[in-house]
Amino acid sequence: MKLQLALDLVNIEGAIEVVKQVEPYVDIVEIGTPIVINEGLHAVKALKNAFPNMTVLADLKIMDAGGYEVMKASEAGADIVTILGVAEDASITGAVEEAKKQGKQILVDMIAVKNLAERAAQVDALGVDYICVHTGYDLQAVGQNSFEDLLTLKSVVKNAKIAVAGGIKLGTLPEVIAAGPDLVIVGGGITGQDDMSAVASEMQQLIKQG
Ligand SMILES: O=C([C@H](O)CO)[C@H](O)[C@H](O)COP(=O)(O)O
C-alpha cells in the first residue's frame, strides 16, 4: 500500500515547500487539478526538477484527447496521469496507449460515475494501471466519503491497482487501510495540518503496519 500526497491549494513554490517537509513519508506527489489550472504543466516540470527521484502524478482529470494530453503531461515529467472514468472508452484507450509508449501509468478517477461496479469492470478491461474511487470537495462538503465505493471497487476490479481519495484524515485512515487499497491519496489531511511532517509520518507508519 502506498501513500500519495495531493497538492491542490498551493502555487509552485508552496508545493515545493510542502514536499520538502514530507518527502521521506510519501511515495507519490500529486500536482492537483487546481494547480494545473492555475500554473499549467510547468508545475509538474518544476516539481520533477526539484525532486527528480519522486514519482509525480499529474491530476489532469482528462475528459477528451486522452493520447495528446498524456503526451504533454509526460513531456513535463509526469509519471502517472489521471483521466476520468466518465470519459469515452476511446479516450481512455488513447491515454493507455500513449502512456505505454512513454513508459508512464494511467490512473482513472471514478469521480461522478453513477454505475460504479459496471463502469469499473469496463475500465479495468481497458488496461489502466489504477482505478480510484474519489469523493470530490463538493460532495465532501455535504458529508459524503468513498469508503463504501472502495469496497465495491475491491469486489469488481481484477487487474488494475485500487486507489481511494477524498477527505481522508489521520482519524479515518485506519478504516481506509482495513479495506486494503493499493494507494491512499491524501490532500488536506496532510496539507491542512500544523505539523505536516508529523502527520505524514504517522500516516506512513499506519500504512506500513497495513
Ligand atoms: O482531486 C482532488 C480534488 O478533486 C481537487 O482537485 C483532491 O486532490 C483529492 O480530493 C484529495 O484531496 P483531499 O480531499 O483534500 O484529501
Residue 99 binned pLDDT confidence (cut-offs 50, 70, 90): very high
The pLDDT tens digits of the residues spanning 49-96 come to 999 999 999 999 999 999 999 999 999 999 999 999 999 999 999 999
Q: What ligand 1 atom has the least distance to the C-alpha of 135?
A: 10
The pLDDT tens digits of the residues spanning 13-61 come to 999 999 999 999 999 999 999 999 999 999 999 999 999 999 999 999 9
- For strand 105-109 and strand 130-134, is the pairing parallel, antiparallel, or unpaired? parallel
In the numeric block, which cell numbers belong to residue 158? 481484477
CB-ligand 1 contact for 172 (6 Å cutoff): no
Are 69 and 60 in contact, with CB atoms under 8 Å apart?
A: yes
Are 193 and 199 in contact, with CB atoms under 8 Å apart?
A: yes
pLDDT at position 205, please?
98
Rounded CA-CA distance 204/65 in Å is 36
Rounded CA-CA distance 127/137 in Å is 28
Tell me which residue of 195, 194, 181, 185 sits closest to 153, measured CA to CA: 181
DSSP class of 23: G
CB-ligand 1 contact for 136 (6 Å cutoff): yes
pLDDT at position 210, please?
82
Q: What ligand 1 atom has the least distance to the C-alpha of 168?
A: 16
Phi and psi angles of residue 9, each rounded to the nearest 5 degrees, phi first: -105, 40
Mean pLDDT along residues 163-170? 97
Phi and psi angles of residue 151, each rounded to the nearest 5 degrees, phi first: -65, -40
For a substitution probing ligand 1, which of 108, 140, 185 has the most ligand atoms within 8 Å of its CB? 185
Rounded CA-CA distance 127/162 in Å is 13
In the numeric block, which cell numbers belong to residue 93? 484507450
What residue ranges in 26-157 does DSSP mark as E strands?
28-31, 55-62, 80-84, 105-109, 130-134
CB-ligand 1 contact for 32 (6 Å cutoff): yes
What are the C-alpha distances in Å from 172 to residues 81, 132, 165, 169, 182?
26, 17, 12, 5, 16
Q: What ligand 1 atom has the least distance to the C-alpha of 140?
A: 14
Does the structure show a pLDDT above 90 at 171? yes
CB-ligand 1 contact for 18 (6 Å cutoff): no
Maximum CA extent, the chain: 44
Q: What is the ipTM of this complex?
A: 0.97
Of the candidate CATH numbers 3.20.20.70, 3.30.70.270, 3.30.2290.10, 3.40.1350.10, the domain formed by 2-209 belongs to: 3.20.20.70
pLDDT at position 26, please?
98
The rounded Å distance from CA 186 to ligand 1 centre is: 7
% of the chain beyond a pLDDT of 90: 100
In the numeric block, which cell numbers belong to residue 41? 504543466
| DSSP three-state, residue 1 | coil
DSSP class of 76: T
Are 107 and 81 in contact, with CB atoms under 8 Å apart?
A: yes
Rounded CA-CA distance 12/210 in Å is 32
The rounded Å distance from CA 176 to ligand 1 centre is: 16
In the numeric block, which cell numbers belong to residue 82? 489521471
